[in-house]
Each structure stands twice: as structure tokens, then as C-alpha cells.
Amino acid sequence: MNKQSESASVLIVPGFKGNGEAHWQNWLHRQLPGSRVLAGVSWSEPILAEWAERIREEIHRASRPLWIIAHSFGCLASVVAAADRPGNVAGVILVAPADPGRFNLLGLGPLDDPRLAVKSLAEILPGKSLGVPGLLIASETDPWMPLSCAQHWASQWGLEIMNLRDAGHINTDAGFGPWPLLLELFSAMRRESQLRPDSDDGSPHRMARGRGSLLAQVRRHTRTQMGLLTTFM
């Protein structure tokens, strides 16, 4: 089997605690041949460095720029991975991102220890455009992200925003199983991307590496935070 047939064209990234069979992400996976659902992370342990590393591996293995469709905490990990290699990401759709202020580098909940350089994920997520086309879909009744917060991050990351109004966390509990609208939106975005002039010179896009990459910073701060907590347990 060659690389073209092994690699996915669309990566679907679940959120904290994963998703059930009835979730719209599993429905979407069945509608999109060539899509893959992220695997290899612990859904009950939202560790940004580990999730972002797995997403970046998927970006790296893809034979062509990868579309990323993420939900909840998966959105946060996806933007970290995409920020380091925008040339290899065709576009992103972020659905109901979780509020990064509710997480720290080791999981759920902020840490107020004054020795920590990063107390919540809001302090380390990309603060500028991701450099990729994309859409952030939010809701006025999402318990995991106020709409004003969603608007802030969409602006920071250079993404368009869509407000579904009373749609909760846009998950199974909110009634989002089969979701034809999302499939239509994705199809339209993919068609539009095919119409854009191709500026690729044929050389492989280079991934941000070393201490300067965002993922490297996330890993470094995670190790420091883990070491501090272990020392004083």
C-alpha cells in the first residue's frame, strides 16, 4: 500500500472524553471517504502537548495538505499543531472550542502556582493568525465557551465565525448527530480551496522545529509544570 492510500485527507479530532457513536463527528467520518478519526490519545486526559503531538504526526504523514475538523478540546490541540505547519494544513473547522482558560498544561482546571509560567492554556495558544483558511462554529448557549470568547479566538486565529445561537456545546446532548449543514460547509470550503491559485513551488513545506516551535514550548512548559507538582506532592 502506498503513502497516498495510507494517509488521510481529512482528520477528525474529538474533544475531551471523546465522542459516542451518535456524535456528528462519527457521522461525518462515515460521509467522508479518506477521513480519519484521531487515535492514540487518552480522551479522559486532556494533555495539550500529547494531543497536539499526535495531530502533528498526522499532518506529517499526510501526502497532501490535511483538512482538520475538530470539536471542543480537540480544537485547542489542533491550532497548536496547525500553527507549526500551516503549509501542510488545507484548512480547519473548529466546532465549539473549549475555553482554554478552563485547562492547564496537565489537564482540566487552571493552576495558580506563582512559580508556573503558564497557568492556563489561554496563555500559550497561538496569539496570531494560523495562516490557514478556516471557520470557527460557536453557540450562544455553549457551557464550555462564551460566545464573546469564541469571537476573540476566531479573530486571533484569522478564522471566520458562525454563530448557531441556541446550540449548546454542539454535541450529541444538544441534538447534533447527523449534521448535513456541516458537510455542506466543508464541501464548499474544499471547492473554494481548489479554485485558489496554487502558490506551492513543489518543494515540501517545512515544519517549525526546535525550541522555536509552539509545540516545543508547550512540551517544555508541561515538563516544568509536572516537575513542580511532583516535587511538592
Distance CA 55, CA 117 (A): 25
User: pLDDT tens across 27-63, in order?
Assistant: 999 999 999 999 999 999 999 999 999 999 999 999 9
**Which pLDDT does position 1 carry in this prediction?**
33
pTM strictly above 0.75: yes
**How would residue 232 be classed by pLDDT, with cut points 50, 70 and 90?**
very low
User: pLDDT tens across 142-200, in order?
Assistant: 999 999 999 999 999 999 999 999 999 999 999 999 999 999 999 999 999 877 655 44
CATH of domain 3-231: 3.40.50.1820
> Which uninterrupted H or E stretch holds 108?
strand 107-108
Say yes or no to pLDDT of 110 above 90: no
pLDDT, mean over the chain:
88
Task: Give the mean pLDDT of 104-132.
Answer: 89
Angle (CA) 47 48 53, round 5°: 105
Say yes or no to pLDDT of 5 above 70: no
Distance CA 67, CA 133 (A): 10
Contact 105, 81 (CB under 8 A): no
